[in-house]
Amino acid sequence: MKPKVFVARPIPIEVEQYIAEHCEVEKWLGEDTIPRAELLKAVQQVEGLLTTGGRIDGELLDHAPHLKVVSNISVGYNNFDLEAMKARKILGTNTPYVLDNTVADLVMGLILSTARRIPELDQYVKNGQWRRGDDEVLFGVDVHHSTLGIIGLGRIGEAIARRAKLGFDMNVLYHNRSPKTEVEQSLGIRPASLDDLLAQSDFVVLMTPLTPETTHLMGREEFEKMKDTAIFINASRGKTVDEQALIEALETKQIRGAGLDVYEREPIASDHPFLKMPQVVTLPHIGSSTAKTRLDMAKTAAKNLVMAVTGEVPPNVVKELLT
């Protein structure tokens, strides 16, 4: 008898067919996120759950006595209650590696867009404001040969550093929990304390995972240490930033601007202050949003799911659940 799994979000048909070759598949048919009550019903008889988010906590696990694995179609796993899963010996997996370059591309896009004011000046032209002789009103700042500070030099951080160093001749600093000596030597980048990185960087990119230690890592004190000409970029998780502190830093011109792909609450409200700030580029959490990358992520998550419910250990088990 095939193991039963539940797919809590739409996936490409080829991925669904792959899972169906090995498992009995039930799936959520709605276009919106599955309601919590429906998910609690759906997991009662399954051994595997494929999802992109939603809290995996004691309540859900109590409704899923047969569950062996939760497979996230995401590199992040802050939706996992690791202690609750560990206590029940339930595996949790994610999809690292496949989205690294795609997210790094987006970060460089945010850097260029904020530095050269591309979205703002696109509207300037489309609104008929462009006049012959316009000069300083169109000025941005250079990206090439400026200083980039990366907070969190994981795989994506390394990919950003490579693009910045090799493509734009940027001076790259990084702050990380552990040194990356090989990356330093291969790319010519330098480690720095958080305070030094903030003080020296023209662009500060936040790429840390969301943990209790990194929640509101960037707050009022951190923004005060940045140059008033600096630009802040966040493509990690919204809750790594004290959003009110960032709003104040932008309103008081403590920093020049920001490029954001993530927010404390998503989607952001239609009256959010960011939406009225021309110096802020706001994207709808699209870091991995290309057709190829999303397909590769779904394939990876499906393989993790199938391996776990058929008795194998997937390669992408969250490390905290293996200790």
Are both 4-98+291-321 and 100-282 of the same fold?
yes
Q: Are 102 and 81 in contact (CB under 8 A)?
A: no
- The pLDDT value recorded for residue 124 is 95
What is the rounded distance in angstroms from the CA atom of residue 225 to the CA atom of residue 255?
Answer: 10
- The pLDDT value recorded for residue 25 is 97
Q: Give domain limits for the chain.
A: 4-98+291-321, 100-282
Q: Tokens for 269, please give them.
A: 């409200």
Strands (E), the chain: 4-7, 24-27, 48-51, 69-72, 91-93, 147-151, 171-175, 190-191, 203-206, 231-234, 257-260, 280-282
- The pLDDT value recorded for residue 59 is 96
For the 4-98+291-321 domain, the top CATH level (class) is alpha beta
Note the pTM of the prediction, 2 decimals.
0.90
Residues of the chain with pLDDT under 50: none
- The pLDDT value recorded for residue 95 is 96
What is the rounded distance in angstroms from the CA atom of residue 145 to the CA atom of residue 171?
Answer: 6
Residue of 303, 271, 273 whose CA lies nearest to 260: 273
Give the contacts of 152 (CB within 8 A, at least 6 positions apart). Answer: 175, 176, 206, 207, 208, 209, 236
What is the rounded distance in angstroms from the CA atom of residue 260 to the CA atom of residue 134?
Answer: 28
Residues designated catalytic: 237, 266, 285
CATH number belonging to the domain at 100-282, selected among 3.40.50.720, 3.40.50.1220, 3.40.50.620, 3.40.50.300: 3.40.50.720
What is the CB-side half-sphere exposure of residue 43 using CA atoms within 13 A? 27
Residue of 127, 38, 55, 114 whose CA lies nearest to 278: 114
What is the rounded distance in angstroms from the CA atom of residue 142 to the CA atom of residue 116?
Answer: 7
